[in-house]
């Protein structure tokens, strides 16, 4: 068909990123858009090619225009994919088939209660018809990060590569402790920094800046790789840990470090043994390491595992991300036992841009200096204030 007369399907950025993951091999064993027969089988068996996969991988874009186009597509016809008014790829049509939206939502989330805002959003962007066929994307937002990890593993001849997923919203001392623990017995740590399509706290760019700053300054060079993990709908609900495991494995990791309190872990007891969701996974050869919750003990005067500290919870200070985020959003410097001053400085200068009327004079009046007013950034002021808060001789 003439390029000018080709039909077009319009997808959103979430669909584009998810398709990119599939094309780059991050969702293996899935390598293509599934047809009706595959859709039914995977939804029933929760596996594909003998490897656990919780639901079928399909493209069913919403919208009246998309539905009209899908209904008239013929086998082997090429249809262009557009995202944000730009051509991003094409599909050679194999089959178009009707789907059950309610069933798909329940398979993904474990519920189809549209009172849940995430479920309602996914339901809205899901159409009634899916298309299968050969997909070809023009470019991929995933490829560069994947290549970097694979090349680093090859260059360093790394044998033990552990993946860690973190929101780092915000990045605090426990995150650091976990990464250090992972480095003790592994060659490389791949830190997957969640990149949510909907901002639920501090924006990704600021979180990435903080993590990069801390890793570059306080960790061994080139042993911690930071990778954005695009948190699309396939990572929602009950299947988050399964999809995380697939992506981590396909990035080249052979270990997955996860917190014992992770909701998706599904810890339970069976025949007097502790079981998790990993016990039912098939074909995903990934060593999983669960870690205990860390707290700061005001008797031990250090960060401890709850399992290793003899003092009660009334002596423990918890690293609750929501509480730390609340402090930052109110312009309060988080205590140094919970977060580094470098992180505080970046977060606060990002959340409260141009906060001070006369920054240079304020710095000159409060902070030891050379006797002349010099140019300083808001980050430098926050770091200097944090150092003053750590002074103990008059407390």
In the structure, what pLDDT confidence band is assigned to residue 261 with cuts at 50, 70 and 90? low
- What would the two tokens of residue 67 be? 């539905």
Is there a contact between 164 and 182 (Cβ–Cβ < 8 Å)?
A: yes
Pairing of strands 161-166, 255-259: parallel
- Position 267 scores a pLDDT of 43
Within the chain, which residue ranges are assigned CATH 3.40.50.620? 143-291
* Mean pLDDT, range 348-369, rounded to an integer: 90
Quick: pLDDT tens for 59-110. 999 999 999 999 999 999 999 999 999 999 999 999 999 999 999 999 999 8
**Mean pLDDT, the chain, whole residue set:** 90
Cα distances from 119 to residues 104, 115, 233, 373, in angstroms, run 11, 8, 9, 55
pLDDT value at 271 more than 60: no
Is there a contact between 128 and 60 (Cβ–Cβ < 8 Å)?
A: yes
Within the chain, which residue ranges are assigned CATH 3.10.400.10? 3-137
The angle formed by the CA atoms of residues 162, 167 and 170, to the nearest 5 degrees, is 120
Contacts of 381 (CB under 8 A, 6+ apart): 345, 356, 359, 362, 363, 367
Dihedral angle at the C-alpha atoms of 176, 178, 181, 186, nearest 10 degrees?
-100
Asked whether the CA dihedral 349, 353, 356, 358 is positive or negative, the reply is positive
The verdict on domain 3-137 having CATH code 3.40.50.2000 is no
Is there a contact between 193 and 208 (Cβ–Cβ < 8 Å)?
A: yes
pLDDT value at 1 more than 60: no
Cα distances from 25 to residues 65, 82, 140, 144, 147, in angstroms, run 30, 22, 12, 13, 12
- Position 270 scores a pLDDT of 45
pLDDT value at 374 more than 70: yes
pTM for the structure as a whole: 0.90
- What would the two tokens of residue 141 be? 């937002």
- Position 357 scores a pLDDT of 87
Max intra-chain CA distance, the chain: 80
End-to-end CA distance of the chain: 79
Contacts of 117 (CB under 8 A, 6+ apart): none
Share of the chain above pLDDT 70, in %: 91
State the residue for tokens 């098939």: 282
φ, ψ for residue 36, nearest 5 deg: -60, -40
- Position 272 scores a pLDDT of 45
Strand order, beta sheet including 255-259: 224-231, 188-196, 161-166, 255-259, 287-291
What is the spatial distance between Cα 50 and Cα 66, in angstroms, rounded to a whole number? 33
Assigned fold of 143-291: Rossmann fold (3.40.50)
């Amino acid at each position: 068909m003439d390029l000018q007369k080709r039909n077009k399907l319009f997808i959103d950025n979430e669909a584009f990123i998810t398709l990119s993951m599939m094309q780059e091999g991050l969702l293996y064993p899935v390598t293509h858009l599934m047809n009706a027969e595959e859709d039914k089988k995977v939804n029933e068996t929760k596996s594909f090619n003998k490897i656990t996969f919780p639901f079928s991988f399909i493209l069913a874009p919403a919208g009246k225009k998309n539905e009209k186009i899908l209904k008239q597509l013929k086998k082997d016809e090429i249809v262009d994919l557009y995202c944000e008014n730009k051509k991003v790829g094409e599909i050679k049509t194999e089959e178009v088939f009707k789907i059950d939206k309610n069933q798909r939502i329940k398979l993904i989330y474990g519920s189809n209660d549209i009172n849940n805002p995430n479920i309602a959003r996914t339901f809205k962007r899901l159409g009634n018809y899916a298309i299968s066929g050969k997909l070809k994307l023009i470019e991929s937002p995933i490829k560069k990060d994947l290549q970097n990890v694979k090349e680093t593993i090859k260059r360093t001849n790394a044998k033990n590569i552990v993946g860690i997923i973190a929101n780092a919203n915000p990045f605090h001392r426990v995150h650091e402790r976990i990464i250090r623990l992972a480095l003790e017995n592994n060659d490389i740590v791949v830190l997957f920094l969640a990149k949510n399509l909907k901002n639920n706290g501090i924006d990704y760019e600021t979180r990435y800046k903080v993590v990069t700053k801390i890793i570059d300054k306080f960790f061994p060079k080139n042993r911690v790789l930071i990778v954005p993990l695009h948190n699309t709908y396939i990572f929602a609900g009950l299947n988050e840990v399964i999809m995380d495991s697939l992506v981590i494995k396909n990035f080249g990791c052979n270990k997955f470090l996860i917190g014992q309190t992770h909701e998706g872990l599904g810890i339970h007891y069976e025949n007097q043994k502790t079981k998790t969701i990993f016990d039912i996974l098939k074909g995903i050869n990934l060593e999983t390491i669960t870690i205990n919750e860390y707290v700061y003990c005001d008797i031990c005067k250090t960060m401890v595992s709850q399992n290793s500290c003899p003092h009660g919870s009334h002596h423990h200070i918890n690293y609750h991300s929501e509480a730390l985020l609340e402090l930052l959003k109110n312009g309060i410097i988080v205590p140094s036992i919970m977060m580094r001053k470098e992180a505080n400085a970046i977060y606060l200068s990002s959340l409260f841009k141009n906060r001070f009327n006369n920054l240079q004079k304020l710095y000159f009046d409060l902070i030891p200096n050379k006797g002349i007013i010099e140019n300083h950034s808001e980050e430098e002021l926050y770091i200097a204030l944090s150092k003053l808060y750590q002074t103990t001789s008059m407390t």
